[in-house]
Structure 1
Amino acid sequence: MTDGPGSTPDVPSGWAAEQPPPYGGAAGSWASPGGPGGSAGPPPSGPPQSAYPPAPHAPAPGGPYAYRPPDAPRPGIIPLRPLALGDILDGTIKLIRSNPKATLGLSAIVAAITAIPTAVGQAFSFGSLGELLSDPYAADAVSGPLAGGTSQLIGGLVGYVMTFVGTTILTGILTRVLGRAVFGGRITVGEAWRLARSRVPALFGLVLLQGLILLLPLLALVAVFVSLAAAGAFDGTANTTAGAAVVVGLLFFLAYIPYLLFFYTRLSLAAPAVVLEGRGVTDAMTRSWRLVKGDSWRVLGILLLTSLLAAIISSVLAVPFAFSGTLIGMLSGGTAAGTIVAAILLAVGQVLASMITYPFQAGVAGLLYADRRMRAEAFDLVLQTAAARNQSQGWVHAGIDDLWHPGYGAGPGSAPYHGAPPYGPYGPYGPQA
């Protein structure tokens, strides 16, 4: 658009470099006596013509005058701009491939430790069931399966507690690995642990509080049913109270699903905030709530898709071992050798599945957190500036981790950080002025 005769049209940057020189002269020359080119000749007759063609309303992609914004820098696993779904999944895969020891190796160790109690309990249960099938009229035909079921229950509870502890610690370490991988840096398991161990108590508190929030309505419903059963409300087959309780329970369950998805989505970014920003439990939950607000449906869709992909991967890897272990446990008749082989096969399947799904889900959550900060706080500009400094320096300094502090951003959830210049008092590039 022009403001009047002789004014310069508004042309996107990058167009002028593709234009021929005005009036047929050399580049940078007006082809007039005494001009920059120094060539003689009469000036063109008629009104002066613009050096630029009229800007099209919608330049065609790849056309001669099409404007292409520069690509965002990609020093690490993701481009430093708001992320699409493909960027998040691709970045998660690159995180695992670029740091195999800190992701797959550590996840395999945690999965092996947590899978042993569950696998042993399942092996005993399958062995007891095999004894029952081989001799249904034995004296211990009933007590054997009961003991096997009890062992499976105990093994499952122990495995759940160990999984809770292991995955909480693993989440902190993997988030630290991701924070450095965004800039193209690598980090050892020991260094990641040193950076994350101070945040482990806050992670445990966060997981416990989140679990309480998500399960509180369900626990209340169970308490109501237990109270009704203790009062004899379910005695008899034609009791109207029992029928009404079942209907109320079904309606409650249907209402509980939206509740569960809503709070699960709003609190999904709290763990990265605890590890990378050093926040407390309630502060991290508030931070996650603000980051997700306004984009809840997209975040929920990505989380559900991640869970579905993790379930598919887990099934593909674990089902063959689970099937083999179950078959051997049942056909062995409860022998010690058969129980050991079945437990090993079941454990191997769970380890293979978990060593992939643990870092995959942690990576998606971390990159979703980075994406929401870039969209809500223009955090991509901070990341791009740091990436340019790293490129000029030629290496990635450990002080780059300080960039995840909430003071580096421009959104409502990130107040300015006062008290230290970027990267700490000294910074990765020498003392700060």
Structure 2
Amino acid sequence: MNDTPGWATPGSAPSDGQRPGASGPADRPGTDQPADRPGADPADPGAKWSKEQPPPGQRSAPTGPAGPGQAPPPPPPPGPGWGTPPPGGGPQGPGGPGGWGTGPAGPGGPGHGGPGGPRGYGGPGGYGGWGAGWGGPPPAAKPGVIPLRPLGIGEILDGAVSTMRSYWRTVLGISLTVAVVTEIIVVLLQGLVLDSSTDALSDPSATLSELGDAMASTMISSGVVFVVSLVGTVMATALLTTVTSRAVLGRPVTTSEAWRDARPQVLRLFGLILLLLLIAVGIVAVGALPGIVVAVTAGGGAAVALTVLGILGAGVVAAWLMNRFSLASPALMLEKQGIVKAMSRSTKLVQGSWWRVFGIQLLATIIANVVASIVVIPFTFLAAALSGGGVSGLVDAGGDLGWTFLIISGVGSVIGSMITFPITAGVTVLLYIDQRIRREALDLELARAAGVQGYGAPGATPGS
């Protein structure tokens, strides 16, 4: 086999078509003897070969300098620390695993085995190869709740839960405060406004004007409840985004520090979420518009079918678009971007990974709501049992549940929000970080920010 750079056999094997030690006239400067000179034997290995040769199994390389046309000697046996030579030929001799020589005293014998042999060139403390063997890349640095490398689904969910566990005072303090304030406003609105509106709507003797006023009051109160809930969600998301970003670096953060860092972007975050809601509602309204027009002009079952199909199609488009913008919130908070720029950043990060982003966020939402339901549903039945209408009033939706039901069910809602807020916000932030690691090598910046020594330096191993 011809030697090529980077792939030279030990001792530099001769070129194809030549025997060891054989050379032509061109290889011997100063010789110009004819090939048919007396005494020349073509089968003779060469004039410089000794007549007394060692046995075939004990050939060794010459110790002197190699002359022209001769193969260079093999490398010397390894020094101390590079493996332990076997006590005898044994498996390292001819035919032994990894041996290079052909005899018990050759390179495959007691001197040293091949690189693949059980004892050949073993690294310091290693076995069967250079060093300890190739077992894959070293583990990535993990200064905080996640390793600094592309993440799997389980690692993203575990990171969100680890943030709750490691920073439970800050996370639960934020979630509890936001949930309590939001739920108090919602309970007051439901008890003071929605309850009286419901009584008017359920009264068969109510006049048309009374029904109209009750419907208007109900819609206004529901809108206020929605806005209050939205504000609470925005505040929790803003603060928990900051906490999760610090948790990735392994740095502690208090509630006041999180608020100080998130405060400049809170209004923009509220505008972003409100804009996304308007876009979704607008798309659904446009999809339902043809069916509504047909229902007004012609009526019939075709109009209803067209309306349903339009709403379903528009819902698919809205879901596709909302998923593309799903990483805009952490982009706005962590990159200090504007609303439009954050939406553009989210679109670029989600591009090519739409199904992965959608699946992870859907799974996180399902898990968070299932866990919250385990808490909320018992409180709801307990509230119904202790209220005036009982459980039958809750099932039939005809009883007057009153303040007892609202307060007890509100306590369950607060506990459920303390679970859902950290999980959904944490998964969104970690998914944003994961996409940036995959596309922009954000792990290098995170490692430097976390103070990991040598990470990303020239010649350093990633993840070291």
- TM-score above 0.5, yes or no: yes
CA distances 1:150-175 after superposition (whole Å, capped 9, x unpaired): 77655432221111112112211111
In the alignment, the residues of structure 1 paired with residue 414 and residue 229 of structure 2 have an alpha-carbon distance, to the nearest angstrom, of 12
In the alignment, the residues of structure 2 paired with residue 306 and residue 84 of structure 1 have an alpha-carbon distance, to the nearest angstrom, of 13
2:92 is matched with which residue?
none
Cα distance, 1:179–1:172 mapped onto 2, change above 3 Å: same
1:396 is matched with which residue?
none
2:406 is matched with which residue?
343
Shift of 1:51: 5.2
Shift of 1:381: 2.6
Q: Work out whether residues 357 and 431 of structure 2, in 8 Å CA contact, stay in contact via their aligned partners in 1.
A: yes
The question of 1:163 aligning with 2:229 is answered yes
1:374 is matched with which residue?
437
1:97 is matched with which residue?
165
Shift of 1:118: 3.5
What is the letter of the counterpart of residue 249 of structure 1?
A: T
Corresponding residue pairs, total: 347
Shift of 1:75: 1.4
Counterparts in 2 of 1:85-164, with a 5 A limit? 85-120=153-188, 154-164=220-230
2:8 is matched with which residue?
4
Cα distance, 1:172–1:214 mapped onto 2, change above 3 Å: same
In the alignment, the residues of structure 1 paired with residue 195 and residue 382 of structure 2 have an alpha-carbon distance, to the nearest angstrom, of 12
Cα distance, 1:320–1:126 mapped onto 2, change above 3 Å: farther
2:332 is matched with which residue?
274
In the alignment, the residues of structure 1 paired with residue 10 and residue 376 of structure 2 have an alpha-carbon distance, to the nearest angstrom, of 73
Q: Once structures 1 and 2 are overlaid, which stretch shifts more, 178-187 or 254-263?
A: 254-263
Cα distance, 1:202–1:358 mapped onto 2, change above 3 Å: same
In the alignment, the residues of structure 1 paired with residue 378 and residue 196 of structure 2 have an alpha-carbon distance, to the nearest angstrom, of 18
In the alignment, the residues of structure 1 paired with residue 83 and residue 198 of structure 2 have an alpha-carbon distance, to the nearest angstrom, of 93
In the alignment, the residues of structure 2 paired with residue 149 and residue 111 of structure 1 have an alpha-carbon distance, to the nearest angstrom, of 28
In the alignment, the residues of structure 2 paired with residue 203 and residue 95 of structure 1 have an alpha-carbon distance, to the nearest angstrom, of 22
Cα distance, 1:126–1:178 mapped onto 2, change above 3 Å: same
Q: Work out whether residues 131 and 330 of structure 1, in 8 Å CA contact, stay in contact via their aligned partners in 2.
A: no
1:74 is matched with which residue?
142
TM-score (norm 2): 0.64
CA distances 1:252-289 after superposition (whole Å, capped 9, x unpaired): 12312321221121111111111111111111111011
Q: Once structures 1 and 2 are overlaid, which stretch shifts more, 122-131 or 373-382?
A: 122-131
In the alignment, the residues of structure 2 paired with residue 29 and residue 85 of structure 1 have an alpha-carbon distance, to the nearest angstrom, of 42
Cα distance, 1:355–1:155 mapped onto 2, change above 3 Å: farther
In the alignment, the residues of structure 1 paired with residue 414 and residue 134 of structure 2 have an alpha-carbon distance, to the nearest angstrom, of 52
Q: Work out whether residues 126 and 148 of structure 1, in 8 Å CA contact, stay in contact via their aligned partners in 2.
A: no
Q: Work out whether residues 123 and 329 of structure 1, in 8 Å CA contact, stay in contact via their aligned partners in 2.
A: no
In the alignment, the residues of structure 1 paired with residue 347 and residue 274 of structure 2 have an alpha-carbon distance, to the nearest angstrom, of 17
**Equivalent of residue 26 in structure 1, options 77, 80, 89:** 80
Q: Work out whether residues 321 and 349 of structure 1, in 8 Å CA contact, stay in contact via their aligned partners in 2.
A: yes
What is the letter of the counterpart of residue 314 of structure 1?
A: A
The question of 1:259 aligning with 2:334 is answered no
In the alignment, the residues of structure 1 paired with residue 439 and residue 330 of structure 2 have an alpha-carbon distance, to the nearest angstrom, of 16
Counterparts in 2 of 1:2-401, with a 5 A limit? 3-6=7-10, 23=77, 26-27=80-81, 46=106, 52-53=115-116, 65-120=133-188, 154-221=220-287, 232-233=296-297, 241-331=299-389, 339-387=402-450, 389=451
Shift of 1:53: 1.4
What is the letter of the counterpart of residue 188 of structure 1?
A: T
In the alignment, the residues of structure 2 paired with residue 297 and residue 54 of structure 1 have an alpha-carbon distance, to the nearest angstrom, of 47
State percent identity of aligned pairs. 37
Cα distance, 1:115–1:148 mapped onto 2, change above 3 Å: farther
Cα distance, 1:155–1:103 mapped onto 2, change above 3 Å: farther
Shift of 1:383: 2.2
What is the letter of the counterpart of residue 347 of structure 1?
A: G
- Higher alpha-carbon Rg: 2
- SS of the aligned residue for 1:252 comes to helix
CA distances 1:298-329 after superposition (whole Å, capped 9, x unpaired): 11100111111122122111111222323444
Q: Work out whether residues 170 and 254 of structure 2, in 8 Å CA contact, stay in contact via their aligned partners in 1.
A: yes
What is the letter of the counterpart of residue 403 of structure 2?
A: I
In the alignment, the residues of structure 2 paired with residue 220 and residue 376 of structure 1 have an alpha-carbon distance, to the nearest angstrom, of 35
Q: Work out whether residues 323 and 358 of structure 2, in 8 Å CA contact, stay in contact via their aligned partners in 1.
A: yes
In the alignment, the residues of structure 2 paired with residue 386 and residue 132 of structure 1 have an alpha-carbon distance, to the nearest angstrom, of 59
- SS of the aligned residue for 2:115 comes to coil
Q: Work out whether residues 128 and 148 of structure 1, in 8 Å CA contact, stay in contact via their aligned partners in 2.
A: yes
Unaligned runs of 5+ in 2: 13-75, 86-103, 119-126, 394-399, 457-464
Unaligned runs of 5+ in 1: 9-21, 32-43, 56-61, 234-238, 393-407, 409-433
RMSD: 4.0
In the alignment, the residues of structure 1 paired with residue 315 and residue 232 of structure 2 have an alpha-carbon distance, to the nearest angstrom, of 27
In the alignment, the residues of structure 2 paired with residue 121 and residue 324 of structure 1 have an alpha-carbon distance, to the nearest angstrom, of 21
Shift of 1:331: 2.2
In the alignment, the residues of structure 2 paired with residue 119 and residue 206 of structure 1 have an alpha-carbon distance, to the nearest angstrom, of 27
Q: Work out whether residues 182 and 232 of structure 2, in 8 Å CA contact, stay in contact via their aligned partners in 1.
A: yes
What is the letter of the counterpart of residue 26 of structure 1?
A: P
In the alignment, the residues of structure 1 paired with residue 201 and residue 347 of structure 2 have an alpha-carbon distance, to the nearest angstrom, of 52
TM-score (norm 1): 0.69
What is the letter of the counterpart of residue 253 of structure 2?
A: I
Cα distance, 1:131–1:259 mapped onto 2, change above 3 Å: closer
